[in-house]
Structure 1
Amino acid sequence: MPINQQPPPEAFDTLKKNPDAIYLDVRTEAEFAAGHPAGAINVPVMLAKGAGQMQLNLEFVDVAEKVFPRDKKLVVGCLSGGRSQRACEMLEEAGFTDLTNVVGGFGGQRDASGQVVVKGWRDSGLPVTNDLGDASYESQRKKAAL
């Protein structure tokens, strides 16, 4: 089944209409801490490996399976929509059934020339916070007992 695709304003509406839905931010811990959609929970699909390098977070699916029910509505976002699409595919393979990829993510989707083609969450004027509370990846790992 194809994964739902929504730009940030539609994803925001989906979250408002479904109070039990969760915005799953799959960016790195540092990206998340610098600002994220209000109410989002961070489980990075990729981890910073060094200067400008990333590696797959081998605990991503394991943490998600222990923190979220497989039938939970997950609205999945990253910076522009690429990592979140990959995360949705991984979650779908693990048996999650209600997934939406946020096209444009937090920072916007750009074309090959660098022009924004889909405004991100931040530039769409949607609620943003820097507060981590228990939304941090560290908190999710503790909930998952890892």
Structure 2
Amino acid sequence: MAVKQLEPGEAKAAMDEAENSVYLDVRTEMEFAQGHPQGAINIPIAVPGPAGMVPNPDFLNVVQKTLPDKEQPIFCGCQSGMRSQMAADLMARFGYSNLANVQGGFGGKVENGVLVVVGWRDSNLPVETDVNDSNSYAGIKARAES
């Protein structure tokens, strides 16, 4: 099944309508801590490595243990919509069937120096900076490994 493509306002409206929906923020822990959609959980698709960002080897395992219902509405977001598309595509290959990529992500999508999709933050949608054991990657990963 194809991953739905939604702009932030459309994603927020769909999340409000869908029962048991989740915003999966696949940005780094540092990006997540600087601000994220209200109620989001953080499971990074990539993590810092010695020479830059590398794929998170634990991503799929943590996702499967944290979000075991493969029909649950999951809205994947990152900074602009690229990493979240990779995450959603990977999840779809492993049976997740109710996925949406949030185009423009949290910060907006820029092409050739021009903002082409306004992000969640600049769409005046609910944002928070709270990081705790229930939404942080550290807390989520610890529960997935226990």
Q: Distance in 2 between matches of 1:108 and 1:5?
A: 14
Count of aligned residue pairs for this structure pair:
144
- In structure 2, give the amino acid aligned to 1:41: I
How far does residue 18 in structure 1 lie from its aligned partner after superposition?
A: 1.4
Following superposition of structure 1 onto structure 2, how do residues 1-146 of structure 1 map, counting pairs within 5 Å?
Answer: 1-50=1-50, 53-68=52-67, 69-112=69-112, 114-133=113-132, 134-145=134-145
TM-score, reference length from structure 1:
0.95
1:144 counterpart SS class? helix
Structure 1 unaligned segments of length 5 or more: list them: none
- In structure 2, give the amino acid aligned to 1:121: W
- In structure 2, give the amino acid aligned to 1:32: F
Q: Distance in 2 between matches of 1:72 and 1:79?
A: 23
TM-score, reference length from structure 2:
0.95
2:145 counterpart SS class? coil
Q: Distance in 1 between matches of 2:142 and 2:50?
A: 24
Question: Deviation above 3 Å: which 4+ runs of structure 1?
Answer: none
Structure 2 unaligned segments of length 5 or more: list them: none
How far does residue 143 in structure 1 lie from its aligned partner after superposition?
A: 1.9
Q: Distance in 1 between matches of 2:90 and 2:64?
A: 11
Decide which moves more: 72-81 or 42-51: 42-51
Deviations 1:27-73 (Å, cap 9, x if unpaired)?
0000000100000000000012257x210001000000001021111
Q: Distance in 2 between matches of 1:129 and 1:19?
A: 21
Deviations 1:63-118 (Å, cap 9, x if unpaired)?
00001021111000000000000000110111111100000000000112x11100
- In structure 2, give the amino acid aligned to 1:37: P
